């Protein structure tokens, strides 16, 4: 089971954060903190490794739901670059004067129906197998990200509503704080499955643990994902932002299932 690294600034408290920063060697302090939606975990880690190999510079990655990360930016979290799974969060921060500009669209995400090994759920792109299993009482747990603050959760809800499965699934729903946590829940033995990010099931951590079907884009609003430099961004964060717009990084995003817009 993989665990998404994340920082919860409200829980730690600003005093604890300050003490932590003071205890880190000066060289490490110079690494900018990049906040990113959880669907980017494997793709962005790959890009960051290549960035370090190419430039000698390092970035620290923090993953979470886009809504939670947005709130943390507004509360003063020391992020320098934000990659959201929903561009409306970037637009909100830009309107509040917290960013350098309106940022750039870096990808469009997709969702999948996922079933772990041994699950009775037959995956298909129209959710017919889920409907049959649900009508037979075979769905005890089904995972999605929390729609209140996770864009992939909202996309999952829209897809389920489109197939009239949202209300029948209510008693079985298990909500992850973000899409990465939802993936953990969906991969457990007692879950029938879940609706997850395409980018996560393409990574070995999940690809080898079950089967999936890519759901049609027509079932949910587009997952337009935007990144933006925040007002506190330094030179390294700015270079990483530009690196993400270069062909090599864009190809990595494609390999993880993102539709990459033309430059």
- Token pair 């370090």 in the structure block, residue: 52
> What's the whole-model pTM score?
0.88
Residues 92 and 136 both lie in one domain: no
- Which range of residues forms the domain containing residue 169? 109-219
Residues 117 and 246 both lie in one domain: no
- Token pair 């750039």 in the structure block, residue: 104
Distance in angstroms (rounded) separating the CA atoms of residues 253 and 247 = 10
Secondary structure letter of residue 99 according to DSSP: B
Question: Quick one: CA torsion of 226, 75, 37, 34, rounded to 10 degrees?
Answer: 80
Model confidence pLDDT, tens digit, residues 175-224: 999 999 999 999 986 899 999 999 999 998 898 899 999 999 999 999 99
Dmax of the chain from CA atoms?
59
Model confidence pLDDT, tens digit, residues 63-115: 999 999 999 999 999 999 999 999 999 999 999 999 999 999 999 999 999 99
Residues 53 and 154 both lie in one domain: no
At 107, which helix (H) or strand (E)?
strand 104-109
User: Looking at the domain assignment, is residue 262 inside a domain?
Assistant: no
- Helix-then-strand count for the chain, H and E: 13, 10
Bridge partners, 81 (sequence order): 34, 229
């Amino acid at each position: 089971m993989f665990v998404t690294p994340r920082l919860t600034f409200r829980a730690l408290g600003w005093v604890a954060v300050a003490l932590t920063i003071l205890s880190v060697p000066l060289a490490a302090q110079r690494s900018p903190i990049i906040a990113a939606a959880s669907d980017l975990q494997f793709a962005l880690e790959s890009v960051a490794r290549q960035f370090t190999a190419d430039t000698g510079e390092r970035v620290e990655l923090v993953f979470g739901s886009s809504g939670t990360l947005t709130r943390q930016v507004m509360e003063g979290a020391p992020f320098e670059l934000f990659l959201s799974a929903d561009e409306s969060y970037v637009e909100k921060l830009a309107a509040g004067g917290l960013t350098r500009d309106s940022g750039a669209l870096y990808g469009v995400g997709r969702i999948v129906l996922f079933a772990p090994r041994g699950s009775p759920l037959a995956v298909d792109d129209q959710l017919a197998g889920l409907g049959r299993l649900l009508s037979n009482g075979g769905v005890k747990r089904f995972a999605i990200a929390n729609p209140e603050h996770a864009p992939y959760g909202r996309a999952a809800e829209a897809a389920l509503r489109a197939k009239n499965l949202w209300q029948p699934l209510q008693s079985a729903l298990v909500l992850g704080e973000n899409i990465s946590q939802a993936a953990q829940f969906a991969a457990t033995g007692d879950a029938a499955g879940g609706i997850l990010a395409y980018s996560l099931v393409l990574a070995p951590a999940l690809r080898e643990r079950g089967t999936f079907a890519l759901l049609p884009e027509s079932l949910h609003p587009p997952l337009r994902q935007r990144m933006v430099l925040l007002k506190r961004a330094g030179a390294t964060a700015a270079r990483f932002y530009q690196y993400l717009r270069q062909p090599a990084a864009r190809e990595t995003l494609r390999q993880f299932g993102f539709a990459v817009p033309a430059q």
